[in-house]
Amino acid sequence: MNKNNSPKVHILNHEHDDLSLERDIFSKAGYELVEAFGRDEELIEQVKDTRGLLHIYANIDATFVNALTQCKGVSRPGTGYETVDVNACRAKGIEVAHIPDYGDGEVATHAAALMLSLQQRVNEHASYTRAGIWDFKKVIAPRRMKNSVLGVIGYGRIGKEFVERMLPFVQKVIVVDPFAVKERLPDRVELGGLDDICEQAHMISLHCPLMPSTSHILNDAVFEKMQQKPILVNASRGGLIDTDALIRALDGDLLTAVALDVLEDEPNIPQSLKERQNVIITPHVGWFSASNIIEVRTRTAQNLVSMLRGETPDRPVPMQEG
């Protein structure tokens, strides 16, 4: 098939230096891969006749979906799909797929690294040392980890791997997850509720998906219940935390330290968070490894090819709440 006459699929707002991996997959399937950049109407105009979308960074809402005339599938290179109106897609016969099971180990390791860095005040000590101040007393001494309680909100694949990494360091773990089964939890891991974590946890890590029921699961009311002035890590989804409430909690000395690999409005970082020595922010990099780069890009493209052929993709996303 002549490339110029091949049906087109589009990749939206990508950051890759080279698309040869994806182009090769789609070329063998008989499609031409086209890059599209922009927002809202500008982006819709470029892709309205597409046969399929590789969704990197864009908001595919109902307006976007309804403008598509020939699209058969939307493929996401990652776990989250909150920027895609899945119900609108399915109503129009457009399947949506994601890659929920890549990089679990990397994300769990990154979250553990952030937690340990906060626990040992690494960022604060390093900041003073870079400034030429060689004085450990500038930083408050940390709690001994083996006497600490770890709270984990979300006990899916990544949450379980995170607990495996952290369990040797702490006294016990409390997990909050409606699907966790008490009888299947490891020793020193307990099933509890958010109030239990607020009361007991010295460390808290988020590992749940973002959906209406979990949006801003950490808010003013929850922060005000926290009794142990915990350290907090979020390597899951930025919208799980109310950012303004987080800043108020830091201002009110309700939290000891915070590490974020995800933000509500990436890549925009509130100035108040930038200025704090007890806050670590990394650029949504928890998934990042040499092997993962190849895996996620390959599987995302292959998912779209399956949808274009009318086949069920490897990982169709569930219907959205509401």
pLDDT at 2: 43
User: What is the tens place of the pLDDT at every residue in 299-308?
Assistant: 999 999 999 9
DSSP 316: B
d(CA 3, CA 1): 6
Number of structural domains in the chain: 2
For residues 237 and 111, membership in a common domain is answered with yes
For residues 39 and 114, membership in a common domain is answered with no
DSSP 317: P
For residues 65 and 212, membership in a common domain is answered with no
For residues 234 and 168, membership in a common domain is answered with yes
For residues 124 and 96, membership in a common domain is answered with no
pLDDT at 272: 94
Residues in Cβ contact with 319 at an 8 Å cutoff, skipping those fewer than 6 apart: 86, 87, 90
* Residue 35: strand pairing partners: 11
Give this prediction's pTM: 0.81
Mean pLDDT per segment of 10 residues, for the chain of length 322 residues?
A: 75 93 97 95 95 92 96 91 92 94 91 98 94 94 95 96 98 97 95 98 96 95 98 97 98 97 94 94 92 92 96 85 53
For residues 170 and 232, membership in a common domain is answered with yes
d(CA 82, CA 96): 12
For the beta carbon of residue 94, count every other beta carbon within 10 angstroms: 21
| Residue 159 three-state SS | helix
Residue 315 forms part of a structural domain: no
Residue 259 forms part of a structural domain: yes
Residue 314 forms part of a structural domain: no
Structural domain harbouring 54:
3-102+289-308
Would you name the residues annotated as active-site residues? 237, 266, 284
> DSSP strand E in the chain: where?
8-12, 32-36, 52-55, 73-75, 95-97, 149-153, 172-176, 189-191, 203-206, 231-234, 257-260, 279-281
Question: What per-residue string of b and e applies to 32-63 under the rule 16 or more CB within 10 Å gives b?
Answer: bbeebeeeeeebbebbeebbbbbbbebebeee
